[in-house]
Amino acid sequence: MLDWGPVLVSVILFVLLSPGLLFQLPGHKHCVEFGNFHTSGAAIMIHALLYFALVCVFFLAVKVHLYLG
């Protein structure tokens, strides 16, 4: 059996935390902007840190598992 939990969580978080898709932190004109589809270097760095922190929480603390097959 293969454990698809980490793969599924990683893909979902990657899509949701793409800078400019749902929100951007920091924005160009405001602290938080929603759905503007523009990015900056600072926004990419902050979203990468958020992604890393949430992936660590889900993999190490919550231990998400999904077995298929």
**pLDDT, tens digit, 9 for 90 and up, residues 12-57:** 999 999 988 888 888 888 888 888 888 888 989 999 999 999 999 9
Number of C-beta neighbours around residue 62 at 10 A: 10
Confidence check: pLDDT of 69 > 80: no
Residues 6+ apart with CB under 8 A from 64: 5, 6, 8, 9, 58
How far is Cα 55 from Cα 10, in angstroms, rounded to an integer?
A: 7
Give the global pTM: 0.81
Confidence check: pLDDT of 1 > 80: no
Q: What is the pLDDT of residue 13?
A: 92
Q: What is the pLDDT of residue 11?
A: 94
Q: What is the pLDDT of residue 14?
A: 93
